[in-house]
Amino acid sequence: MKISCLQENLARGLGIVGRAVASRSSLPVLSNVMLATDGGRLKLSATNLEIGISCWIGAKVSEEGAITVPARLLTEFVSSLPPEQIDLELSVRTQTLHLSCARFEANIKGIDAQEFPIVLTAEEGAPFVTVDPDELRQMIARVVFAAATDESRPILTGVLTAFEGDRLTMAAADGYRLSVEHITLEKAVPEKVEVIVPARALAELARISADQTEPIGIIITPARNQILFHLQDIDLVSQLIEGRFPDYRQIIPTSYTNRAILDVQSFLKATRVAHLFARDSANIVRLDINAGDELMPGRVTLMATSNQLGDNVGQLDATVDGEPIQIAFNAKYLIDVLSVISSAQVALDTISPSSPGVLRRPGDDRFVHVIMPMHLPR
């Protein structure tokens, strides 16, 4: 293999695939990144066997070939080089990659590319669906944080991704909260498909699609065990989680007895303040929701008490419709969801202190977030 490419292209490509490199693996080759010539371009690939990322960068190929080299060393070395042309040459006999750029030279010992697992990339042909990168990224941001991080329930560490008609829905839950959002597809899918994608894969997808403008193609392998996101010059492939996602639709309450419409930013700020006091006592923040009367506007009062630290009360103006109610939530869950709501206002629907609380964007049914309340008998 003998190629030349620009330092900034290689550094950018390594930064993209770097997130898929296995940090602690018993398989040494997984902490390597693969460099291979591919139709006049240089293809970089990395995988931790759960997700794999491939990235193509422009290069002048004088001799075909492939090699894997330690990802961290290569990335750190390349990123400290001056922005000039890098020449890479592989000594096949010693499996050593020789790099030269300006007045720097290096030899990096590698592992034979044959030992690297195959990272699936998009074939020629039409993808299953295409979605707008911005819409997809925002949907991921509003859903993925609700997925469980605890490995004891593998299903809940994934995001239910459902294609039905012209609608793409994502849902994630960790046992105490649920986040659901859907977007409209340009073209309806011929058949309904539901898969569970690891939350980490979607988070990576959101990260690497930040400067994408072209629609993202989504392909699900015929065996239904991998999903592939085809971006411009980048392919991200992820294993799917097998199993049945709990039926979340029946959890979302269809009615409410009290609806409070609040300003998102002030709600978030008041919750953060309450959290300072709630941290010590199970993160409990109590919401006292009162409809106003002719003279007083509706009001939501946030209270947090710590036996050792003291207590805190914060008041928010709100448009409240319904009977007064007191309900307690985990402050962290409220902060998580309020931080990702993009609209200016949020509606909080409640039924009783022991029924789920629902947050929505007023006048927009695409996003629903459910939080289970806490109890603090008094």
Question: Which residues in this chain contact another protein in the complex, by CB under 8 A?
Answer: 150, 152-153, 173-178, 246, 251, 281-284, 307-308, 330, 354, 356, 370, 372-378
DSSP H/E element including 298? strand 298-306
- The nearer residue to another protein, 322 or 353, going by C-beta atoms, is 353
Shortest Cβ 374–another protein spacing (Å): 5
- Give 167-219 as a 3 state SS string: EEEEEEECCCEEEEEEEECCCCCCCCEEEEEEHHHHHHHHHHCCCCCCCEEEE
**Extended beta strands in 26-166, E state:** 32-38, 41-47, 51-58, 60-63, 66-70, 85-91, 96-101, 104-109, 129-131, 158-164
Shortest Cβ 229–another protein spacing (Å): 28
- The nearer residue to another protein, 134 or 150, going by C-beta atoms, is 150
How far is the C-alpha of 348 from the C-alpha of 256, rounded, in Å? 9
Q: Which amino acid is at 271?
A: T
Shortest Cβ 318–another protein spacing (Å): 23
Shortest Cβ 8–another protein spacing (Å): 35
Distances 42 to 64, 110, 237 between C-alpha atoms, Å: 10, 17, 19
Shortest Cβ 356–another protein spacing (Å): 7
- The nearer residue to another protein, 128 or 248, going by C-beta atoms, is 248
Q: Is 121 helix (H, G, I), strand (E, B) or coil?
A: coil
- The nearer residue to another protein, 313 or 372, going by C-beta atoms, is 372
- The nearer residue to another protein, 177 or 182, going by C-beta atoms, is 177
Shortest Cβ 304–another protein spacing (Å): 12
How far is the C-alpha of 289 from the C-alpha of 328, rounded, in Å? 11
How far is the C-alpha of 225 from the C-alpha of 231, rounded, in Å? 20
The β-bridge relationship of strands 41-47 and 158-164 is unpaired
- DSSP secondary structure of 240-286: PPPS-----TTTS-S--SEEEEEEHHHHHHHHHHHHHHHTTTTTEEE
- The nearer residue to another protein, 91 or 326, going by C-beta atoms, is 326
Shortest Cβ 197–another protein spacing (Å): 20
Distances 119 to 38, 52, 61, 90 between C-alpha atoms, Å: 14, 6, 22, 21
How far is the C-alpha of 129 from the C-alpha of 103, rounded, in Å? 47
- The nearer residue to another protein, 26 or 213, going by C-beta atoms, is 26
Shortest Cβ 361–another protein spacing (Å): 21
- The nearer residue to another protein, 152 or 255, going by C-beta atoms, is 152
Q: Which amino acid is at 343?
A: S
Buried b / exposed e across 82-117, counting CB within 10 Å, b at 16+?
eeeebebbbeeeebbbebbbeeeeeebebbebeebe
Shortest Cβ 173–another protein spacing (Å): 6
- The nearer residue to another protein, 132 or 181, going by C-beta atoms, is 181
Q: What torsion, rounded to 10 degrees, do the Cα atoms 6, 10, 12, 14 define?
A: -170
Shortest Cβ 174–another protein spacing (Å): 8
- The nearer residue to another protein, 213 or 307, going by C-beta atoms, is 307
Backbone φ, ψ for residue 290 (5° rounding): -130, 130
